[in-house]
A and B are shown apart, each in its own frame.
Chain A
Amino acid sequence: RKEVEQDPGPFNVPEGATVAFNCTYSNSASQSFFWYRQDCRKEPKLLMSVYSSGNEDGRFTAQLNRASQYISLLIRDSKLSDSATYLCVVTRSDSWGKFQFGAGTQVVVTP
Chain B
Amino acid sequence: EAGVTQFPSHSVIEKGQTVTLRCDPISGHDNLYWYRRVMGKEIKFLLHFVKESKQDESGMPNNRFLAERTGGTYSTLKVQPAELEDSGVYFCASSQDSRPGELFFGEGSRLTVL
Contacts and interface: CB of A to CB of B under 8 A. Distances in A.
Given A95-B56, A97-B56, A2 B45 contact: no
A97 B55 CA distance: 9
Contacts, number: 55
The 4 nearest A-B residue pairs measured at CB? A43-B105, A97-B48, A103-B42, A101-B43
Given A2-B42, A87-B43, A34 B105 contact: no
Given A34-B102, A99-B103, A101-B35, 14 more contacts: A34-B101, A43-B107, A43-B108, A44-B91, A44-B103, A87-B43, A96-B100, A97-B33, A97-B45, A97-B55, A97-B98, A98-B56, A99-B45, A101-B44
Given A99-B45, A101-B44, A43 B101 contact: no
A81 B91 CA distance: 24
Contacts of A32: 101
B31 interface: yes
A52 to B, nearest CB: 14
